[in-house]
Structure 1
Amino acid sequence: MKKYLFFLFMTVSVTVLAQPPVERNSAVTNSAEPSVLKETEEVTVPQTATIQTGNEFYKLYQQANSSPEQKNPTVQQQRRMNDFVELNRQEDANGFDYNLSVFMAGNYDLSKKDFLEKAKVLQPKNQYVLLQSVGVSYILNDQTTLITDLKELAKQNVWNTDDFSYAKDVLASIPSNGILITHGIHDSYPIIHLQRIEKYRNDVRVIPMHLLQSSEFRKQLSNEDLSIPETNQVNTQYLKEFCTSNQEAPIYLSLTIPSAYFTDMEQRLYPVGLTFRYSPAVFQNSELNTRLWTGMNKGVIVKYKSQTGKQLSANYLPVLLNLYMYYKAENNGRLANEIKNSIRQIGENIGNTNLMKELGVNE
């Protein structure tokens, strides 16, 4: 039944799984929804350094961090970012764009932290600076800077109530002292905000995949008795190897991780709340999901405040499918109908009128 459930979910996940926009808020324009370049789009490097150099660099950085299959820039993307760093240096080696681009092109190389700190002095409330600073302070366990920067980002409304509502249900899905792997900035930092500022579920170890680019972060995890893949390429194979090497640990994968990461592990993934539990042995999840579902706030399904909330509601589908099949097997028509109502609502949220049929749920 688990394999069938996973197959059903994966067949619709391409259109309904809410993937996190890596940089949903533009630090340059400060707009709510910036233009993020697709993987196939080209960024033309100016022949001479201009005031637009910094803006183009941030677009290129977004492109390099938006791949659904890896967190590291490709060789070509890295080369182009390095070219922009040089152009920024020519424009103003002491300026904001140069210092920030040096650090960002380093992919969380903490030996370049001084450049980030210089950029922060020049523009202490810039969103790109704050987002990079949160990553650094999280790696270094610098609680003072981490909390200060998270509060400033919240003040700038980088995340909304739907983001925090969803993040709380994610944390509620993890058992005591569990390990949660998230994908990038947008799905990781609301969770860390809840942990460090609201003191909710600090027992959960959160591992943001984008921070695994940092050798310092990988070393830190290794010191926590986790087996870390030797490669520096944080991609689908990396995640599979991480899970396989630490299969005795309570590892949970956030559903905001792109579906490409799951395809080679489907036999070992079990829906648990808003996560997939990685387990080489059969994992009994239905009764656990019954308890989790009762305790979740589920705000983004029926009380969403934004388009983001509507899309995030699709990530409740794995647990709902698991519960629907469980209640049907138990001949519990009342609870099965309640689950169907939630699935129907999600279909309306994401504009998929055929969702019930695609998931094999009787109308």
Structure 2
Amino acid sequence: MKFSSLVLQGVLLSILSFHFQVLQAQPPKPETVYRLIYQAKPNEWYQQQAKLWEAEVKRNPQNPQAWRNYYFATRYAWPSERTHEAFKAKNEKMEQIIQGMEKAIPGTYEYYYIKYYHYAPYKKAKIEWLEKAYQLQPENPETYYSFLTHYAVTSQTNKFKTFAKKLYESKDIAPALLWYNYNALISCAPNSILFTNGDNDTYPVWILQQAKNIRPDVLVLNINLIRGYPEYLKELLATQNINIDPEQFSRKNLQTFLNGLIQKILEKSPKTKIYMGLTLNPAVFKNFEDKLYLVGLCYQYSEEDIDNLAILKKTITRKLMLDYLRVHWYDENYLANQVVDQINLNYAVIFMRLADHLALSGQKDEANYWQNFALYLAKKADDKNLIKFIESKNK
């Protein structure tokens, strides 16, 4: 079955679908704002925390952690109105925060790190800022992520591998995220291309490939990095003997960019198999969703029909490591549990699709097993809409 026929698509691929409740009994307090690779909260929470931490830095301007939380709460809070002017105002606010840090806490780890982190996407960051942050806190794995991105887009392969190993050894990435991304890699054919989206489906893949030598044959293309750094894209594809000029197609619109890139890759290398991670925003697929086939924790792009259900069954039953889904290795308050439970909902997509296939072929016991597995994951993530959908299949 093709991408467009998946009933679950709209339910499962919105990773940040949470319910926000404010306790009225006591006034809200400023809380630590973690990076999204550790924890995700509703938008209202980030908006509230931004105000609380703004008040805190006014009371205690020499508190580096207060400035840090103020910045990240502001960064993660979406404007109430999704307009160009609103996002421009948000960015100006973040720059004002950095200017405030420069006056109040110059020379601190938080100042150097956040200044680099903020300006890196705009190609205005100086690597010296990140290096100073690293010198101040060399054991803090937070800088490792930024070094990895920098060394990736600047094609410094030895340093890239070094920091991939440092990040792996730091144990900063939740084991369950490593397993998820291991299974995403295993879902891909040899010497293929896998498009990824953000932190939780790119950094884990990089360290699996670089630190553990797991599926280094799969070329990982983060859609945001390759769009922003055409030379980086050109050099990556050249490693697969695919020579293209990224400037030949527009990068202004992500959908148009990806569609043009895929066509150019297949023109140069028709036998190369291309995959899209389930972690990508469905809007990215809009121009070619009828050419995507569910084959595991990714969609395979194909101009021709393929028997994806046979591939999907083989991938799930013979290739994927699934035992980890049944347990939390740490206590229930482990910071990354919520992020892990949400990303694991992508397994429910493939389990439900397999269950439907097995039911149609008369294999009811097996179908029930995978449907119940999907229900278990939905309950762990407390996704009430998905729970209702799966339970309705039994009626």
Aligned partner (choices 336, 343, 362) of residue 367 of structure 2: 336
Q: List aligned pairs for 1:1-363, cutoff 5 A.
A: 1-2=1-2, 5-6=5-6, 8-13=7-12, 18=15, 38=43, 41=47, 43=50, 50-51=62-63, 52-63=66-77, 74-91=87-104, 94-108=107-121, 109=123, 112-212=126-226, 213-214=228-229, 216-221=231-236, 223=238, 224-225=242-243, 228=246, 235=254, 238-243=257-262, 245-246=264-265, 248=270, 249-294=272-317, 295-305=319-329, 306-352=337-383, 355=386, 358=389, 361-362=393-394
Separation in 2, partners of 1:31, 1:325:
34
Q: Give, in angstroms, the shift of residue 271 of structure 1.
A: 0.8
Q: Give, in angstroms, the shift of residue 284 of structure 1.
A: 2.4
Q: Give, in angstroms, the shift of residue 276 of structure 1.
A: 1.5
User: Bigger shift: 265-274 or 110-119?
Assistant: 110-119
Aligned residues: 350
Letter in 1 for 2:96: D
| CA deviation vs aligned residue, 1:209-264 (integer Å, no higher than 9, x gap) | 34333455345346553564755657555445544554555221111223443455
Instruction: Give the TM-score taking structure 1 as reference length.
Output: 0.77
> What corresponds to 2:28 in structure 1?
none
- More contact order relative to length (CA 8 Å, sep ≥ 6): 1
Separation in 2, partners of 1:27, 1:117:
25
Letter in 1 for 2:188: I
Separation in 2, partners of 1:227, 1:9:
37
- Shift in CA distance, 291/183, structure 1 to aligned 2, threshold 3 Å: same
RMSD: 4.0
Contact 2:38 2:339 in 1 (8 A): no
- Shift in CA distance, 98/218, structure 1 to aligned 2, threshold 3 Å: farther
User: Bigger shift: 296-305 or 84-93?
Assistant: 84-93
Letter in 2 for 1:298: L
- Shift in CA distance, 216/246, structure 1 to aligned 2, threshold 3 Å: closer
Letter in 1 for 2:314: R
| 1:276 partner SS | strand
- Shift in CA distance, 356/307, structure 1 to aligned 2, threshold 3 Å: closer
| 2:98 partner SS | helix
Separation in 2, partners of 1:315, 1:98:
37
Letter in 2 for 1:125: E
Contact 2:255 2:286 in 1 (8 A): no
Q: Give, in angstroms, the shift of residue 206 of structure 1.
A: 1.1
Separation in 2, partners of 1:184, 1:234:
17
| Structure 2 unaligned spans of 5+ | 19-30, 330-336
| Structure 1 unaligned spans of 5+ | none
Q: Give, in angstroms, the shift of residue 104 of structure 1.
A: 1.7
Separation in 1, partners of 2:394, 2:35:
45
Letter in 1 for 2:307: Q
Separation in 2, partners of 1:36, 1:312:
14
| 2:212 partner SS | coil
Contact 2:2 2:291 in 1 (8 A): no
- Shift in CA distance, 4/233, structure 1 to aligned 2, threshold 3 Å: closer
| 1:145 partner SS | helix
- Please tell me whether Structure 1 or Structure 2 has the larger radius of gyration of its CA atoms: 2
- Shift in CA distance, 77/195, structure 1 to aligned 2, threshold 3 Å: same
